[in-house]
Structure 1
Amino acid sequence: MLTLDRIYHASFVLKNVIRQTDLISAPNINPESKIYLKTENLQVTGSFKVRGAYYKISQLREDEKTKGVIACSAGNHAQGVALAATENGIRSLICLPDTAPISKIEATKRYGADVCLVEGVYDDAYQKALQLQEQEGYTFIHPFDDENVIAGQGTIGLELLEQLPDVDAVIVPIGGGGLISGVAYAIKSLNPKVKVYGVQACGAPSMLNSVEHGKLECLNSVSTIADGIAVKEPGKLTFELCSKYVDGIVTVTDDEISTAILTLIEQQKLIAEGAGAVAVAAALFNKVPVKGKKVVCLVSGGNIDVTILSRVIKRGLLKSGRSYALTIELLDKPGQLKGVSQTIADLGGNVISIHHERASEGTDINGCFLRIVLETRNYAHIEQIRQGLIDAGFTIV
């Protein structure tokens, strides 16, 4: 059984292994509330997962350690298990979905684990790990549905209450549910008045559906940039704990997650992966009641692949009105481009790309199209530029 004593014991075991991550103020995330960030993206291995993995492995019997350990993961649990196993002199094999970011795969190898790539998503890697466990006799380290793993994650709840004793609410990402189960259990056991909210990606709402319908449900598929929480089916134990201790679960879109990642980079100088930014997205877009309250957003991980990060930044810029593309229909005569450029410049827009092409069939024979991508300040600035171009006599398609 999960107990508060076990979480305190996990905290003692982990004392010299992990770092107690900072709780930092982030006043601009949502000006109507006092937002704080629990920076688990700055944890050893770049994610909270090392807490649960290390505590679980530390509690194995000698015969279980001798067999070696096997785990499945979208990437962060993999690194936690690899580090914990290597530190304890144990052999480890990790099954990773082939969709996992390259950075996570390479980091897992660097921490000393053997890697088996599995076609599909996390759940496919899970089935492969179970198969190999049966064949080879490994000790399986579940990423979330295990009491010792949950106890390890619950140490974050203890830290939060020490760092901000008068916290009103905590927002936590949910994939399989191990993190929020531990955090919610620890917090509710010590201070039942604190609200605990969970956040899932719109493309992977497995825990939300399960809790709403009162039974475990498995999604047919998942699709989200938040690969760390792309889980088709939550755990049996985590489902029970979430049903009992979590005050509400909400979802955020990929666009909202992208905006949250960009906001953390610009405002807080922090890098978060998709799963790590969902709690911030929930506060940013008022998905949970945060107005006038002291709220902690748990930034659970920072292991984002740089190629994905560049795409996310582009999406985030579009979503927040910082980038805008428009097409203008022109007569193909001297001075037209100068007129468009002058209007945009006078209104403070910055042209970053431009494409000129002759008009197609059905338009004026002397016509052409000008496709422009701009850097802008916000949606109001975009509207100001659009209106300025219209007032100058240009036709926006």
Structure 2
Amino acid sequence: SPALSKITGGKIWLKLENQQIAGSFKPRGAFNRMFAMTEEERQKGVITCSSGNLAQGIAMAARDLKTKAVICVPGQCPQVKRGSILEKGGEFVELRVIGTYYDEAEIESMKMAERENLIFISAFDDPYVAAGQGTVGLEMMQDEPELDVILCQISGAGLIRGVATAAKALRPGIKVWGVHAKANPAWPEALKKGMVELVDEEVSLADALGGGACQNHFDFVINELEGLIAVTEEDIAKGIRFMFEKHHQLVEGAGAIAAAAALAGSVDLKDKKVGIVVSGGNIGEEKFLSALSCGR
């Protein structure tokens, strides 16, 4: 990114996962998990909870494997993502909308898995999902082996754990920062209290980063990340606008948030070689136009 390199004083590369199939990095983990299932598990069918992006990967894999998939999304899941889930999964997918926020939808989906004898697939707390998503970090290091810093989204922490694990295996001294919306303080609160608890979150342009922190990733976040960066809604909007104006990329709030952190000067990147994960581009027209307006 010549534009972001000029602003930050570093040398910045963007990992454009918005160009991935289904418009985000999520199919990497979804396909890895689904294709690792036994025939018996496939016969039972699966259930997952998703803010919308993992669900599209699960839907595609379910269609390919001819496996039933029940997909639960929170009410804040954009219509553009809901429509894409149904289109990609066809007859093999059943979509259920639960509550407003991710956490309540996830809790209910886990109960459904027990009641209906379905295999539950976590969006972030699953080794196969994390390994699949880690290929993002692997590819970044293969393309630019001398990266000093990676800025990556953090929500449940499945993506950033996979990315950091791959990157640090190839370059042990690399520094990885977790970037989250200020509207969702799940990880800062977890680190402050020394444990993961449910916290209240606000509606955010980065709707794909909704939901709480994951206890199984707690030690990783403490020991392997350089730190956390909180990004305001105004700066997320500026990130969406920046990606559109400077790179002609349609990027959702969660996808733009790491670039937004760099754009806002949240971390010193001067003279550093930096990889930034652009995690997805599934944004509806109304939200996109709103972001362009408030990102001025």
TM over 0.5: yes
Question: TM-score scaled to structure 1, two decimals?
Answer: 0.72
Query: Which residue of the partner structure matches residue 191 of structure 2?
Result: 211
For residues 297-312 of structure 1, what are the structure 2 equivalents within 5 Å? 297-312=276-291
Q: CA separation in 2, counterparts of 1:141 and 1:249?
A: 27
Contact 2:135 2:162 (8 Å CA) reproduced: yes
Q: What are structure 2's unaligned runs of at least 5 residues?
A: none
Contact 2:177 2:225 (8 Å CA) reproduced: yes
Contact 2:72 2:98 (8 Å CA) reproduced: yes
Question: Percent of aligned pairs with the same residue?
Answer: 37
Equivalent in 251, 258, 272 of residue 279 of structure 1: 258
Answering whether residue 93 of structure 2 is matched by residue 93 of structure 1, we say no
Contact 2:184 2:200 (8 Å CA) reproduced: no
Q: CA separation in 2, counterparts of 1:150 and 1:166?
A: 23
Spell out, residue by residue over 1:23-45, the C-alpha distance to the aligned partner (whole angstroms, 9 max, x if none): xxx11124111111000010010
Q: CA separation in 2, counterparts of 1:239 and 1:306?
A: 36
Contact 1:81 1:92 (8 Å CA) reproduced: yes
Q: CA separation in 2, counterparts of 1:59 and 1:206?
A: 30
Give the SS at the match of 2:47: strand
Contact 2:195 2:215 (8 Å CA) reproduced: no
Query: Which residue of the partner structure matches residue 379 of structure 1?
Result: none
Query: Which residue of the partner structure matches residue 226 of structure 1?
Result: 206
For residues 1-397 of structure 1, what are the structure 2 equivalents within 5 Å? 26-31=1-6, 32-112=9-89, 113-231=93-211, 233-317=212-296
Question: TM-score scaled to structure 2, two decimals?
Answer: 0.95
Q: CA separation in 1, counterparts of 2:261 and 2:168?
A: 21
Amino acid at match of 2:249: L
Q: CA separation in 2, counterparts of 1:158 and 1:29?
A: 23
For the aligned residue pairs, the C-alpha RMSD in angstroms reads 1.1
Higher mean alpha-carbon deviation, 35-44 vs 125-134, is at 125-134
Q: How many residues align?
A: 291
Q: Which has the larger radius of gyration?
A: 1
Give the SS at the match of 1:84: helix
Per the TM alignment, residue 261 of structure 1 is displaced from its structure 2 partner at its CA by 0.4
Highest RCO, 1 vs 2 (Cα 8 Å, sep ≥ 6): 2
Per the TM alignment, residue 209 of structure 1 is displaced from its structure 2 partner at its CA by 2.4
Query: Which residue of the partner structure matches residue 326 of structure 1?
Result: none
Contact 1:167 1:294 (8 Å CA) reproduced: yes
Spell out, residue by residue over 1:32-83, the C-alpha distance to the aligned partner (whole angstroms, 9 max, x if none): 1111100001001001011111101111122111110111111001111111
Contact 1:64 1:139 (8 Å CA) reproduced: yes
Give the SS at the match of 2:265: coil
